[in-house]
Amino acid sequence: MKRRGFTLIELLVVIAIIAILAAILFPVFAQAKAAAKKTSDLSNVKQVALAQLMYSGDSDDMIVANGEGQVPKNDWWQNLQPFTGQQDFFGTNFGAGAKAPLGFMDPGAVQNWARETMPYIKSMDMLVSPGAQNDVNPDLAPVANNSKAGKTSYVMNGCSSNKSQTSFSKPADTIVIQVRGTTVREALAVPKLHFMPDGWEPANDADLWWVGHNFSNGGNYGFADGHAKFMKRNQVKYKNLGFWEWVNIEGQGWTNPDKNSTMKAVPNDTKTWDQWKSHGACNPSKIE
């Protein structure tokens, strides 16, 4: 019998069909993968929010604190919640350097939300967002090849730190945990609450460009009542973080926390992202 093979034209047609199918299906697969990561991240955020609820149930109704009692007291605007993953902070070693080589889980690190809630979470992987890569900064990146070292892709709302859970006036609207762009060894509080000698409770860092944009210019947020949901960056209002009076933004004046968002939709719009200079009174129990 005489065998007949495929002609060059037939092979080209088959290759063209495969290329067309690939062009159609690959974006679909990418979207499905992104949706799966977003769902997994939402589950993580919800578990962390619930862990804070359980912590308060075992701690006289108090939300976990993040560095209170361990901040310097020699300057008005220096008395704020510390960074727990940077070796030096305003001249004081609060970080994950020589005194805290295991990041926020190190016994030498300051009190922080991630270490305090770990007994309720029980899994370091739950503190890592599938939508975040390891930070490229070696001072912030997770410690390699050490399962006991701290690593997280989430930040706590510093305005809720060390507050009574039942004192929140609108727990279903108050954010307690949010996602950041990279995975690091530090357990941060953002916004960062200040501790003033006269008892005033201002906060800055109302938003930073590396927070809340892991999925389509948005992120998953955990709330004080234990629920979690996805929100676009420009849907988050100052009052969702606990700001209850007018907020002053450097170069932009005062803004109403009830009507104005803390961030624009595009995270790389750095011209208006100098929000660490913004400040205002922040206490979730005073939101109306």
- What confidence tier does 48 reach under pLDDT thresholds 50, 70, 90? very high
pLDDT score of 194 more than 80: no
pLDDT at site 79: 54
Max CA distance (Å), the chain: 100
- Provide mean pLDDT across the span 40-50: 93
Pick 43 or 188 by higher pLDDT. 43
- Provide mean pLDDT across the span 33-53: 90
Q: How far is CA 264 from the centre of its chain?
A: 16
- Provide mean pLDDT across the span 69-78: 52
The sign of the dihedral angle between the CA atoms of 244, 246, 252, 258 is positive
pLDDT score of 63 more than 60: yes
pLDDT at site 94: 47
Both tokens of residue 26?
A: 């690959």
Torsion of the alpha carbons at 140, 146, 152 and 156, rounded to the nearest 10: -90
Pick 259 or 145 by higher pLDDT. 145
Nearest to 222 by CA among 74, 110, 103, 64: 64
pLDDT score of 227 more than 90: yes
Q: Which of 12-16, 42-46, 124-128 has the lowest mean pLDDT?
A: 12-16
Rounded Cα distance, 24 and 20, in Å: 6
Residue-wise pLDDT tens digits, 102-150? 888 888 777 889 999 999 998 899 999 998 889 888 778 888 888 888 8
Helix or strand (DSSP H, E) at 281: strand 280-281
Pick 134 or 32 by higher pLDDT. 134
pLDDT at site 3: 60
Rounded Cα distance, 274 and 251, in Å: 9
Rounded Cα distance, 288 and 285, in Å: 9
CB atoms within 10 A of CB 30: 10
CB 279 within 8 A of CB 248: yes
Q: How far apart are the first and last CA of the chain?
A: 88
Partner residues linked to 219 by β-bridges: 231
pLDDT at site 37: 87
Nearest to 281 by CA among 257, 252, 253: 257
Q: Which of 121-130, 203-212, 260-269 has the lowest mean pLDDT?
A: 260-269
